[in-house]
Amino acid sequence: MTRVQNQQSFYDLVKNRRSIRLYKNKLIDAKSLDRVIDAGLYAPSGKNEQNWRFVVLSGDKKEEYLEFCQKAWLKQKDILKDRLKPSLYEFTERFFYTLGGAPVVILCYSASNSNFVEFTNVGSVFMAMQNIMLAATIEGLGSCSMGAPLVFKKEIDEFIGKKYFEEEEKKSLDLVGTIVLGWPAHDPPKAERKRDYRVRKLNF
Contact between 49 and 124 (Cβ < 8 Å): yes
User: Would 198 be classed as within a structural domain?
Assistant: no
What integer pLDDT is reported at residue 3 of this predicted model? 80
The 10 Å Cβ neighbour count of residue 176 is 21
Question: Can you tell me the distance from the alpha carbon of 166 to that of 110, in angstroms, rounded to the nearest whole number?
Answer: 11
Task: Assess contact for 57 and 107: CB atoms under 8 A.
Answer: yes
**Which domain, by its residues, includes 95?**
21-182
Whether residue 13 is contained in a domain is answered as no
Q: Does 99 reside within a domain?
A: yes
Distance CA 81, CA 137 (A): 31
pLDDT at site 115: 61
pLDDT reported for residue 164: 83
Domain assignment of residue 95, yes or no? yes
Q: Evaluate whether residue 16 is within a structural domain.
A: no
Q: Is residue 47 part of a domain?
A: yes
Contact 162, 173 (CB under 8 A): yes
For β-strands 104-112 and 172-182, DSSP reports them as antiparallel
pLDDT of residue 124: 95
In the prediction, which pLDDT does 27 show? 98
For residue 64, give the CATH number of its domain.
3.40.109.10
The total of structural domains in the chain comes to 1
Task: Tell whether 79 is covered by a domain.
Answer: yes
CA pair distance 60, 80, nearest whole angstrom: 29
Looking at the domain assignment, is residue 154 inside a domain?
A: yes
Tens-binned pLDDT, residue by residue, of the chain (204 aa)? 788 788 889 999 999 999 999 999 999 999 999 999 999 999 999 989 999 999 999 999 999 999 999 999 999 999 999 999 999 999 999 999 999 999 999 999 999 866 656 788 899 999 999 999 999 999 999 999 999 999 999 999 999 999 888 888 888 899 999 999 999 999 999 889 998 999 989 998
